[in-house]
Amino acid sequence: MLEVDGISKAYGTAASELWVLDDVSFAVEHGRRLAIMGPSGSGKSTLLAIIGGLEPPTRGSVRLDGVDPFAVDAARRAAFRNERIGFVFQDHHLVDGCTALDNVLVPALARGRVPMEMVDRAAALLARVGLAGRSGHLPGELSGGERQRVAVARALLLHPQLVLADEPTGQLDSRSAAAVTDLLVELTAETGGVLIVVTHDAEVAGRMGSVRRLVDGRLDA
């Protein structure tokens, strides 16, 4: 289970603080999906960064299966992210000089030597996202929808317990957006992980099991 308990986040100094999150709490069980909607500047991406162990909260805690990533040192937190969390961003963040297959393998490369079974899994994931014939192509040779599908495959490579997607369809046409959403839902369902999607798209949000709105740093009931 993912447990978010009383998360608040402030930037600036004590004399001039800007609070972007205010006492956000919720829980999501494994196998469940959650969409978080809200206007620009409401704190959605900041919340996702905290949940993913990328940025510490000012107050509150995050626990994934009882583990708080901010209760350990930076090296162990990085390992925690690599082992348990998959990220999909609006800008796919692929490595320009690497093929689609190598980009999917990036999380495994962070561990050192990549076993053949991991290469086989990466190739199988590319096939699942419809890119079996494009595994040797560079990102510049792929369409926007294809690049985002590579990013989805990369996020699922290590069977993460939690997948976080920040506006994953924001730069795609409606057909590509629907395909990417389908893949996120189907592939995370197979692993039994938690899927949280930050989106402005009501159709994408509607594919999730639950929808919450974040406005002025506060999450609706």
Q: What is the C-alpha to C-alpha distance for residues 149 and 145, in angstroms, rounded to an integer?
A: 6
Question: How many domains does the chain fold into?
Answer: 1
Find the mean pLDDT for residues 166-191: 86
In this structure, what CATH number is given to the domain that contains residue 74?
A: 3.40.50.300
Is it the case that residue 190 has pLDDT exceeding 90?
no
Read off the pLDDT of residues 2-45 as tens digits, 9 standing for 90 and up. 999 999 999 987 677 888 999 999 999 999 999 999 888 888 99
Q: What is the structure's pLDDT at 6? A: 96
Q: What is the C-alpha to C-alpha distance for residues 157 and 84, in angstroms, rounded to an integer?
A: 11
Read off the pLDDT of residues 197-218 as tens digits, 9 standing for 90 and up. 999 889 999 989 899 999 989 9
Give 61's pLDDT tier (boundaries 50, 70, 90).
very high
Read off the pLDDT of residues 115-158 as tens digits, 9 standing for 90 and up. 999 999 999 999 988 899 999 999 999 998 899 889 999 999 99
Q: Indicate yes or no: pTM above 0.85.
A: yes
Is it the case that residue 221 has pLDDT exceeding 70?
no
Question: Which range marks the domain in which residue 97 is found?
Answer: 2-219
